Amino acid sequence: MPRFDAVLFDLDGVLADTAHIHFAAWRRLAEELGIHLEPTFEEKLKGVDRMTSLDLILAQGGPDGPVQRTVEERRVLADRKNGYYQAAIAEQTPDDLLPGARRVLEEVRAAGLKTSLASASHNAPPLLDQLGIRPLIDAIANPAAVKAPKPAPDLFLEAARLVGVPPERCLGVEDAVAGIASIKDAGMVAVGIGDPTVLTRADYVVPAIANFYISDFF
Ligand code: B16
Ligand code: MG
Protein backbone atom coordinates (compact mmCIF):
# COMPACT_ATOMS: atom_id res chain seq x y z
CA MET A 1 0.00 0.00 0.00
CA PRO A 2 1.53 3.38 -0.97
CA ARG A 3 1.73 5.79 1.97
CA PHE A 4 0.53 8.55 -0.37
CA ASP A 5 -2.29 9.14 -2.84
CA ALA A 6 -0.72 12.04 -4.73
CA VAL A 7 2.67 13.46 -5.62
CA LEU A 8 2.78 17.23 -6.03
CA PHE A 9 5.60 18.42 -8.25
CA ASP A 10 7.34 21.73 -8.54
CA LEU A 11 8.41 22.39 -12.13
CA ASP A 12 11.47 24.63 -12.42
CA GLY A 13 14.47 22.77 -11.03
CA VAL A 14 12.53 19.53 -10.46
CA LEU A 15 11.13 18.37 -13.83
CA ALA A 16 12.80 20.95 -16.08
CA ASP A 17 16.20 22.57 -15.88
CA THR A 18 14.75 26.06 -16.19
CA ALA A 19 15.95 27.57 -12.90
CA HIS A 20 19.12 28.79 -14.63
CA ILE A 21 17.02 30.23 -17.49
CA HIS A 22 14.99 32.28 -15.00
CA PHE A 23 18.22 33.46 -13.40
CA ALA A 24 19.83 34.35 -16.75
CA ALA A 25 16.77 36.48 -17.58
CA TRP A 26 16.91 38.22 -14.18
CA ARG A 27 20.64 38.81 -14.53
CA ARG A 28 20.15 40.41 -17.95
CA LEU A 29 17.51 42.76 -16.54
CA ALA A 30 19.63 43.49 -13.46
CA GLU A 31 22.69 44.39 -15.56
CA GLU A 32 20.51 46.80 -17.54
CA LEU A 33 19.68 48.49 -14.22
CA GLY A 34 23.34 48.58 -13.11
CA ILE A 35 22.80 45.81 -10.57
CA HIS A 36 25.30 42.97 -10.39
CA LEU A 37 23.95 39.61 -9.20
CA GLU A 38 26.40 37.10 -7.78
CA PRO A 39 25.76 33.44 -8.80
CA THR A 40 24.72 32.76 -5.17
CA PHE A 41 21.69 35.04 -5.67
CA GLU A 42 20.07 32.30 -7.80
CA GLU A 43 19.18 30.28 -4.68
CA LYS A 44 17.28 33.25 -3.22
CA LEU A 45 15.09 33.50 -6.35
CA LYS A 46 14.20 29.82 -6.70
CA GLY A 47 10.48 29.22 -6.27
CA VAL A 48 9.93 32.92 -5.55
CA ASP A 49 7.20 34.63 -7.58
CA ARG A 50 8.00 37.18 -10.26
CA MET A 51 7.26 40.47 -8.43
CA THR A 52 8.90 39.34 -5.20
CA SER A 53 11.99 38.31 -7.19
CA LEU A 54 12.14 41.76 -8.77
CA ASP A 55 11.77 43.40 -5.35
CA LEU A 56 14.67 41.34 -3.97
CA ILE A 57 16.87 42.44 -6.89
CA LEU A 58 15.92 46.13 -6.59
CA ALA A 59 16.46 45.98 -2.82
CA GLN A 60 19.95 44.63 -3.32
CA GLY A 61 20.55 47.48 -5.76
CA GLY A 62 23.79 48.79 -7.23
CA PRO A 63 26.81 50.72 -6.00
CA ASP A 64 24.52 53.58 -4.84
CA GLY A 65 22.28 51.32 -2.77
CA PRO A 66 18.74 50.04 -3.31
CA VAL A 67 17.06 50.99 -6.61
CA GLN A 68 13.65 52.68 -6.26
CA ARG A 69 10.92 52.17 -8.87
CA THR A 70 7.21 53.01 -8.93
CA VAL A 71 4.59 50.27 -9.07
CA GLU A 72 4.05 50.91 -12.80
CA GLU A 73 7.81 50.87 -13.52
CA ARG A 74 8.16 47.60 -11.62
CA ARG A 75 5.37 46.04 -13.67
CA VAL A 76 7.17 47.06 -16.89
CA LEU A 77 10.47 45.62 -15.60
CA ALA A 78 8.82 42.34 -14.59
CA ASP A 79 7.21 42.10 -18.04
CA ARG A 80 10.60 42.70 -19.65
CA LYS A 81 12.18 39.86 -17.66
CA ASN A 82 9.24 37.62 -18.59
CA GLY A 83 9.82 38.43 -22.28
CA TYR A 84 13.45 37.32 -21.97
CA TYR A 85 12.35 34.14 -20.19
CA GLN A 86 9.59 33.30 -22.69
CA ALA A 87 11.94 33.78 -25.64
CA ALA A 88 14.38 31.33 -24.03
CA ILE A 89 11.82 28.65 -23.13
CA ALA A 90 10.24 28.79 -26.60
CA GLU A 91 13.21 26.65 -27.64
CA GLN A 92 12.50 23.90 -25.06
CA THR A 93 11.72 20.36 -26.29
CA PRO A 94 11.17 16.97 -24.57
CA ASP A 95 14.98 16.59 -24.65
CA ASP A 96 15.16 19.40 -22.07
CA LEU A 97 13.30 17.42 -19.40
CA LEU A 98 15.64 16.65 -16.52
CA PRO A 99 16.88 13.05 -16.71
CA GLY A 100 14.38 10.73 -15.01
CA ALA A 101 11.52 13.26 -14.95
CA ARG A 102 9.30 11.36 -17.42
CA ARG A 103 10.06 8.01 -15.76
CA VAL A 104 9.08 9.39 -12.34
CA LEU A 105 5.76 10.76 -13.63
CA GLU A 106 4.99 7.46 -15.39
CA GLU A 107 5.87 5.38 -12.31
CA VAL A 108 3.79 7.56 -9.99
CA ARG A 109 0.80 7.18 -12.31
CA ALA A 110 1.39 3.43 -12.74
CA ALA A 111 1.41 3.06 -8.93
CA GLY A 112 -2.12 4.54 -8.91
CA LEU A 113 -1.20 7.92 -7.44
CA LYS A 114 -2.34 11.28 -8.78
CA THR A 115 0.15 13.81 -10.13
CA SER A 116 -0.39 17.53 -9.58
CA LEU A 117 1.73 20.57 -10.38
CA ALA A 118 2.53 23.25 -7.78
CA SER A 119 4.70 25.68 -9.72
CA ALA A 120 4.93 29.39 -8.94
CA SER A 121 5.42 29.98 -12.65
CA HIS A 122 2.66 31.49 -14.78
CA ASN A 123 4.55 29.99 -17.73
CA ALA A 124 4.10 26.40 -16.51
CA PRO A 125 1.22 25.25 -18.79
CA PRO A 126 2.93 26.12 -22.12
CA LEU A 127 6.24 24.75 -20.80
CA LEU A 128 4.56 21.41 -19.94
CA ASP A 129 3.26 21.25 -23.52
CA GLN A 130 6.68 21.90 -24.99
CA LEU A 131 8.27 19.28 -22.74
CA GLY A 132 5.57 16.79 -23.77
CA ILE A 133 4.50 15.88 -20.22
CA ARG A 134 1.11 17.60 -19.94
CA PRO A 135 -0.76 14.27 -20.40
CA LEU A 136 1.10 12.86 -17.37
CA ILE A 137 -0.13 15.62 -15.02
CA ASP A 138 -3.64 15.30 -13.54
CA ALA A 139 -3.96 18.92 -12.36
CA ILE A 140 -2.11 22.23 -12.46
CA ALA A 141 -2.51 24.66 -9.55
CA ASN A 142 -2.87 28.21 -10.87
CA PRO A 143 -0.56 30.57 -8.94
CA ALA A 144 -2.92 33.45 -9.77
CA ALA A 145 -5.75 31.63 -7.97
CA VAL A 146 -4.13 31.46 -4.54
CA LYS A 147 -3.86 34.20 -1.92
CA ALA A 148 -0.20 33.94 -0.98
CA PRO A 149 2.80 32.70 -3.02
CA LYS A 150 5.48 30.25 -1.78
CA PRO A 151 6.72 30.03 1.00
CA ALA A 152 3.04 30.14 2.09
CA PRO A 153 1.35 26.71 1.86
CA ASP A 154 -1.50 27.90 -0.42
CA LEU A 155 -0.18 26.64 -3.77
CA PHE A 156 0.56 23.10 -2.55
CA LEU A 157 -2.83 23.00 -0.77
CA GLU A 158 -4.49 24.03 -4.04
CA ALA A 159 -2.56 21.35 -5.99
CA ALA A 160 -3.81 18.75 -3.47
CA ARG A 161 -7.38 20.05 -3.54
CA LEU A 162 -7.51 19.81 -7.34
CA VAL A 163 -6.82 16.06 -7.21
CA GLY A 164 -9.06 15.53 -4.14
CA VAL A 165 -6.31 14.25 -1.82
CA PRO A 166 -5.91 15.41 1.83
CA PRO A 167 -2.51 17.00 2.66
CA GLU A 168 -1.34 14.13 4.88
CA ARG A 169 -1.63 11.76 1.89
CA CYS A 170 0.50 14.04 -0.34
CA LEU A 171 4.21 13.93 -1.08
CA GLY A 172 5.65 17.23 -2.32
CA VAL A 173 8.79 17.44 -4.45
CA GLU A 174 10.73 20.73 -4.53
CA ASP A 175 14.16 22.19 -5.25
CA ALA A 176 13.70 25.52 -3.45
CA VAL A 177 13.90 26.54 0.20
CA ALA A 178 10.67 28.55 -0.27
CA GLY A 179 8.94 25.51 -1.78
CA ILE A 180 9.98 23.11 0.99
CA ALA A 181 8.58 25.59 3.53
CA SER A 182 5.33 25.66 1.55
CA ILE A 183 5.06 21.83 1.58
CA LYS A 184 5.87 21.49 5.27
CA ASP A 185 3.47 24.26 6.33
CA ALA A 186 0.78 22.52 4.23
CA GLY A 187 1.21 19.46 6.50
CA MET A 188 2.75 17.28 3.77
CA VAL A 189 5.90 15.17 3.49
CA ALA A 190 8.67 16.95 1.55
CA VAL A 191 11.25 15.52 -0.81
CA GLY A 192 13.99 18.02 -1.57
CA ILE A 193 15.91 17.96 -4.83
CA GLY A 194 19.39 19.32 -4.24
CA ASP A 195 21.64 19.88 -1.25
CA PRO A 196 20.54 18.70 2.24
CA THR A 197 22.55 21.50 3.89
CA VAL A 198 20.39 24.01 1.97
CA LEU A 199 17.02 22.19 2.07
CA THR A 200 17.14 21.68 5.81
CA ARG A 201 13.37 21.37 6.37
CA ALA A 202 12.92 18.56 3.81
CA ASP A 203 12.06 15.09 5.16
CA TYR A 204 14.20 13.45 2.46
CA VAL A 205 16.71 14.93 0.02
CA VAL A 206 17.97 13.41 -3.23
CA PRO A 207 20.51 15.07 -5.53
CA ALA A 208 18.25 14.99 -8.62
CA ILE A 209 14.84 13.79 -9.80
CA ALA A 210 16.69 10.85 -11.42
CA ASN A 211 17.29 9.55 -7.86
CA PHE A 212 13.58 9.61 -6.97
CA TYR A 213 11.70 6.28 -6.96
CA ILE A 214 8.10 6.22 -5.79
CA SER A 215 8.61 2.60 -4.74
CA ASP A 216 10.86 3.93 -1.92
CA PHE A 217 7.68 5.41 -0.39
CA PHE A 218 5.50 2.27 -0.47
P1 B16 B 1 7.12 33.13 -13.75
P2 B16 B 1 8.77 26.84 -9.64
C3 B16 B 1 9.26 29.42 -10.04
O4 B16 B 1 8.91 28.18 -10.53
C5 B16 B 1 10.73 29.70 -10.30
O6 B16 B 1 11.54 28.85 -9.50
C7 B16 B 1 11.04 31.13 -9.96
O8 B16 B 1 12.39 31.41 -10.22
C9 B16 B 1 10.13 32.04 -10.78
O10 B16 B 1 10.35 33.42 -10.48
C11 B16 B 1 8.67 31.69 -10.46
O12 B16 B 1 8.45 30.34 -10.80
C13 B16 B 1 7.67 32.54 -11.24
O14 B16 B 1 7.79 32.25 -12.60
O15 B16 B 1 7.84 34.44 -13.77
O16 B16 B 1 7.34 32.28 -14.97
O17 B16 B 1 5.66 33.27 -13.39
O18 B16 B 1 10.15 26.53 -9.15
O19 B16 B 1 7.78 27.18 -8.54
O20 B16 B 1 8.25 25.83 -10.63
MG1 MG C 1 11.62 25.07 -8.39
Starting at the earlier edge strand, list the strands of the sheet with 204-206: 139-140, 114-117, 6-9, 170-174, 189-193, 204-206
Number of domain units in the chain: 2
Domain shared by 147 and 206, yes or no: yes
Q: Minimum-distance ligand to the CA of 119?
A: 1
CATH number at residue 116: 3.40.50.1000
Predicted local confidence at residue 32, as pLDDT: 97
For residue 64, report the distance from its CA to the centre of ligand 2, in Å: 31
Q: Minimum-distance ligand to the CA of 121?
A: 1
For residue 53, report the distance from its CA to the centre of ligand 1, in Å: 9
In sequence order, which residues have a C-beta less than 8 Å from that of residue 22 and are 6 or more positions away? 12, 45, 85
For ligand 1, pick from 8, 10, 11, 12 the residue to mutate: most ligand atoms within 8 Å of CB.
12
Q: DSSP for 120-186?
A: S-TTHHHHHHHHT-GGG-SEE--GGGSSS-TTSTHHHHHHHHHTT--GGGEEEEESSHHHHHHHHHT
Residue 9 DSSP one-character state? E
Return the residue whose CA atom lies nearest to atom 12 of ligand 1. 121
The verdict on the CB of residue 82 being under 6 Å from ligand 1 is yes
Residue 1 lies in a domain: no
Helix (H/G/I), strand (E/B), else coil: 7: strand
Catalytic residues: 10, 12
> CA torsion angle for 137, 142, 148, 152 (degrees, to 10)?
0
The verdict on the CB of residue 153 being under 6 Å from ligand 1 is no
Domain shared by 34 and 77, yes or no: yes
For residue 13, report the distance from its CA to the centre of ligand 2, in Å: 5
Domain shared by 107 and 206, yes or no: yes
The verdict on the CB of residue 174 being under 6 Å from ligand 1 is no
Domain shared by 140 and 36, yes or no: no
Domain shared by 185 and 157, yes or no: yes
For residue 100, report the distance from its CA to the centre of ligand 1, in Å: 21
Residue-level pLDDT, tens digit, the chain, 218 residues: 568 999 999 999 999 999 999 999 999 999 999 999 999 999 999 989 999 999 999 999 999 999 999 999 999 999 999 999 999 999 999 999 999 999 999 999 999 999 999 999 999 999 999 999 999 999 999 999 999 999 999 999 999 999 999 999 999 999 999 999 999 999 999 999 999 999 999 999 999 999 999 999 99
Q: Tell me which residue of 151, 145, 134 sits closest to 199, measured CA to CA.
A: 151
CATH number at residue 37: 1.10.150.240
Q: Which among 89, 120, 142 is the end of a domain?
A: 89
